[in-house]
Structures are given as structure tokens and as C-alpha cells.
Structure 1
Amino acid sequence: MMIKHIFKIIRNESKSNLALWLELAVVSVFLWFIVDNIYVTLSMYYKPLGFDIKHTYMMKLGYLSEASEGYRADYTEEQQIGFIENIMERLTHDPKVEAAAFCMQSAPYEGSWRSTSLYRDTFQVNSLYRYVSPDFFKVYKYQSVNGSTDELVEALKRREWIVTPDIVEALAPDGTNPIGMIVNQNKEDAMKGEGATVGAISKPVRLDDFDDFSSYYAFPMGYNIFKYYASQDIQYFQFPIRVKAEDDKDFRHYFWSQLAPRLKAGNFYPQEITYVPDNKASFQRSQTNELKTKMLLVFFLLVNIFLGVMGVFWFRTQARRQQIGLRMVLGDTPRGVLGKFYAEGLIILATAMIPSMVVLYVLGQKEVLSTEYMELSLQRYLIGMAITVALLCVMIIVGIWLPARKAINMSPAVALAEE
């Protein structure tokens, strides 16, 4: 009965309600875009990275110049390799170190990476690749799809390669078991069935907090690589370290005072050590500032929409003070009066959302909406719509309640006199 009465009120004030209906329809579309933008941005930012940088450091080695004291020019390639092995041995067995590795352009928040094509027979995929020693996965706690870090470590120790599910999907669309699959960076060799064996499947690993690209493959880096990158070329290598959680306090001081002197070997010496979370903050500073600016702009737009919608209902309710007072005189309860006004506003909103949903659906079909970081799924569409409706409901209820709460406390004499 009450709903029927509310529809009668809406019909009697059709002219003003039509303008309000159009405003809500337009505002809801713009609000959905804002909500969707926030949802996509935050979903990507908080999406699992696939690695852990807590208690990790990045060491880089230097190489003595010819003018430096202690420099020797007569070291052979085998001796150079031996020096690196000794450094890694001492580093790995330090009581405060949980794991240590070496890699080339593969560590997070370093600003460099490599990519190339990978082939299996005639199948091809373009992907990032990581050139790392086995314990790299222990340092950053990568996991296989089975949840095991050791599975990845052991695969590299066997000189087998590691790929992610995206690569499996691209190279084995025929359902071939990826474990044992032969892959190669050279197309001709791949078509001959020559190459490396896939030994494990890794969970996806993102580049950073702002990039959703997570496909990679990894192959083992051995000490022989230093035969080609000895001397000054050592700068191209990174030496990531994971410190035991209980020993992380003041580790840098410990490193320079006690550990670094033991890591000098031949012409190599520890040149730099940085805390990876600090690298992350520095590496992503511009993107973080951009995100903060974006969120402030979104907040400003939300406040404007909130004030606009709330203001419309405020003035609308304020203009009906006498009607509210008269209803109170005729025996209606404060809760009943507010309920009718809330229901009226929410019914108008519900009908206004219908064309908005159609417009957004059409824009999605026409690929107007961004799908760079997240596909336009039904879940994304409905989550954005649900948050939009919830925000508009709050705006409408607040816009009605603030002026109406005074009107329902109006004395009957004043209400009748004003009417």
C-alpha cells in the first residue's frame, strides 16, 4: 500500500522527478567510471607479486683499477671464477645469511630486465627471462605452482628451465605435459627438437606493484659465465642476499664492519649493498606519487558528486518541510515520514540505474572501457555497479535526513501556519 502511495507521489511530481532522474542517470555513469578506475588500480596494486623482499639486500661487486693498491693483472680466467666462488661460499655460510645468489638483470626493483622469444617446435611466445643461480628463488621466495621453492631450486641445479603457466599455455596448446618439454630460444633448433628441458612450473611473478606483466622463464647461471664477464664487467651482475629475520637489525653495519672484509678476493671487492625495500621505494617513487595524485583527484571528484547529489535532495526535502509537518499533524510517525522520503529517492535511483547499466554495457562491448590491466569481466562490471549504487544511496539518504530531521520535530501549530 505504501509503495503504491509513493509511486503516486512520484507521478504527481513528475516534472521535477524527471529532471532528478536524468541527473542520477548521468551522474551514475560518471561515478561508475571513477569507482571502476579506483577498483582496477587498487586490485592491481594489491595483487600478489609472486616474490618477497622482506629482509633482502642487494650487493654489487667492484673491480680494482690498475692504479689501485693490491691490483694484479696476472689472474687467469679460472682464478677469476674461483674468486667469485669463494665470495659466494663465504657469503652463503655467514651465520646471519639465509640465502645468497647471483643473477643478471633479473632482480626486482633494479630497473632492468631482458626479454626474447621462446620456442617449442613451431609454437612461439615472447616473454621476459631470468638468468639466475638456483638460490635466487630462495632469496626472493619464488614458488612453483605446487607451492614449493625447493622444486624451482632443484630444477635449476639439474640445468633444467622454469616457465610460468602463460608460457605453458602458449607453447603447449595441445595439452602436452610441460614437465619434460623441450624449449629453445632459437627457432631452427627448436624445430629439430633440440634445446633445454622444462623442469618446473613457476607461479606468475610480476615486475613490480604497478605492472601486471607476470610471464617469465628462467634458466641457470653457472660460475662459467664469469669467464666472459670478469674484471670490470662484474658491474652487470647483482648478488641478492636474504638475511635471517632475527639478524636483520643493523645488518648493513655488520656487513661493512665484519662481512665485507672477508668478501675481498683477487681484484674483486664489495662495492655497494642496498636494502631492497629502499630500492623499491626509490624505483617506484614517480609511480607512487602519480597514484597519490590520482587518488586525490578521484577524492575531489567524489566529494563534488557527493555534495551535488546530496545538495539536490537537501533542497528538495527543505522545500517540502510544510508537507512533512502536515503529515506529522495528520498522525504519521517520524520514522514513517522519513521512510516514505527515503523510498521515493531510492525508487527514482533504481529506475535511473537501468539506462546507466545499458550505457555502460554498450561502452564495454564497443571496447571503450580500459582493459589494459583488467579484462572487463562480469565481476568487474557488477562490483563497480554495486559500489556506485551504494555511494548514491548514502548520498540520497544523507541529503534527505539532514533537512528532514528538523522538519519532523516541527510543532503542529507552525506546520499548519506555514501550510
Structure 2
Amino acid sequence: MMRWRAAGVAALGAGTLGLLFGNPLFLVVATVPTVYAVYGFLSGVPSPGLAVERSVEPEAPEPGEAVTVRLTVENVGDSPLPDIRVADDPPPVPVDGSTEAASALRSGESLIVEYELSLPRGTHEFGDPTLTVRGVAGRAGEKTVHDVDGATEITCWTLLDEVPLRDRTIHFVGRTPTDTGGSGVEFFSTREYQRGDPVNRINWRRFARTGELTTVDMRVERAITVVFVIDDRAGAQRSWPGYGPDTLDLTTYAVSRALPSLLESNHRVGVAACSGLASDDLASYTEPGRDAATRSAADETIDYAQADGGSVSAERAIRALRERLPANAQVVCCTPLTDGFAEDLVEELEAGSHGVTILSPDLTTAGGDPSLGAATEALQRRARADRLQRRGVPVVDWSLSEPLALTLSRVFETWGETR
């Protein structure tokens, strides 16, 4: 601004001297600052009228999924903007692409800044974008931090707090079937009518055809007691490449999804976090139950498992678990099978009357072609699973390409089996 005023003063002074002394040289000299002053006036910074909007795609990403951010700046004023510069303020996460752009905008035109983010779990806030408008001569103009319409934050659904819409319902109906007849929902056998049998279970069609009274027995279904054991030892966990979920996220997510379905089906459900069993931490174990208090306590145990597990003696934890388990409780051990913990657990519980099922999230094939170390670990994990299966222990692998509901249904099918 000062340089344009100085040019104007110089032009006025030279023109005045030329008129006073009648010397055309002064008039020629005045031409240069006059042109300079007029140029500065015409190239002044226009008053901008701007609309700023930010969009993200997808709006509810999973951890590690690439998120495309698009910041659109539109000139909604009447004047053209010869030079506008935009800088977005993304969350402090890895960014692919430029968060800045510059252009000239006529009225009604837009400038788009597009880049990608790689987000960890949680909610991430954007800052306000900075806009700078300059004149034709590069004159520094208005620099503003602009409010933005649209997305101001983005949330990667956490495995315990956000349930994907595509996998909201677990289809698990009924209780564990037995090999005895009685009242139930599934046909078991027919037998000769006995005095006192319910009328609605008499086979009236057969009576009409043969004159014989027979009674239909249905397969008896009984509620079970199940305890989920979460292997939350810090050294046992494996992570999805980038910012994706680790095996502890997946196992706690699976348990949190199974709990309401089992409780609604009148089963007794408990939860144990391996890291706190040996130290008798009360929050690390929820006694099996079927009421609202059990659900609340189980959620606390899941939260406990979500915290970083410290160094823990697997042997002591397994012994402590065995002492707490109710008789005939089914055990679902949620573990990534990165070491011999599950085999030790099965060996300890085989002496009791506890059936054990292994639910194991498989991240050994995540991220494309594995390294030599990852391939070796995958083979070792497969060998552990094979040894368990040879002992008659069901091992349910959970690949992230398979819906959790389907994986859990395969776990449910193993309960009540004789091993």
C-alpha cells in the first residue's frame, strides 16, 4: 500500500514542477510513477465473497482405510479473484497429496483441494482452512481463517463403540441341543402315548389314519454356561498393517458382540481377561450370569482387557482361571495363537469338565505378500491350530473377509459337543 502512495506523490510532484516551469521533461518523468500508481490502484485486492465446504469419503471409515478429503472454495462474489491461495488444516495423521492449492477464480468458479488421509481409530478434528487473496500485482491481501461447511471431524469406528451397519445382527437362535426328548422346538422322536401327555403333542394325524395314540417328543434345549477368555497379554498381539485393528481389538469386539445375543437367549455368560487373573484383579473376571448386572460387569472386564496388558505369567493366569470356572462351563478362548498359551489352557482344563473352543482372529495374511518372518509366523500359527484340532479342540479362524456373525455362529455350533 505505501509503495502505491509513494508513486502517486512522486507523480503529482513531477507533474506540478512541469507545469510551474513549463519543462516537458518533468511531465515525462511524471508518467512513470503515474502508470505505477494507476496499476497499483487497479490491481488492488478485491473484497472476496467465498463459500468453503469440506467433504470426506467414506464418511465412516474403518481404521487403516484410505479417506479422501475434498475442500471446495467457491467465489460467490461479483468480482473476479486474480489470485487466491488455500491451505487446509488436516488432523495430525499421515497425508497423501497436497493440502494447498492456488488459482484465479471468476465469479461462480471453484477451487478444489483434494488429498487422502490414513486414520487410526478414534475421532479426528480438522482445523479451519486458511485463505489468502492477492491482487494482480501480487499485492498481499486478506488472509483469513475461514469457517467451513460440511465435515469438521471424522471418526474411524472403534471396534467396541461403533457397529458396522452391514453386520449388526448375530443370528443365533435357541439354546444348546441335547440328545434327549421332551419339550422343545425341534422334532426328536415319536413314542407311545402315556397318560398325562400334553394334548398338543399327540400325533392326531396318525391317530386318524391308524387309530393309535402316539406322542411327539421334541429335542430338549438347555441353557449353557460359557466364559469368554480374552488373551490380552501385550506380547501376544499382532497388528493390521498401518493403523488397522490389532488382534486384541478383534477379540474384544467379538466378545462384545456375542454377549447380548447369548444373554437374550438366557445363557449364563462370563468374561475373563488373562492379564489380571494371576493378580486377582477384580475387574479382570466377571462371574457367569444372565442379568443386567452381569452385562455391566462384563463390559467393564472388556474395557479392562482393552487397556495395555503388562507382563503376565500365562501359567499362573490359567491356574487362576481354572479355580474360578463353574463346573461344566464352556470356555471360548479368544487368542491370536501366537504362542502356546491356548495349548497350555486346553491341557489344564481337560482335567475338568470344561469344553474349550478357540476363536482366533487371523492377521497373518493381512497386507498382501507377507515377508519371510510373517510367512514363518503364519506356518507356526497353523501348526498350533492343527495340534489343537487333533486333540479334538474346535479352532474357529476369523478372517476379516468373513462377517463376524458367521464366525460366531461356527463358535456356537461347537458347544455341547462331546470331546
Query: TM-score, structure 1 length as denominator?
Result: 0.23
Q: Counting strand residues as a fraction of each chain, which structure ranks higher?
A: 2
Q: Counting helix residues as a fraction of each chain, which structure ranks higher?
A: 1
Larger radius of gyration: 2
Greater relative contact order: 1 or 2 (C-alpha under 8 angstroms, separation 6 or more)? 1
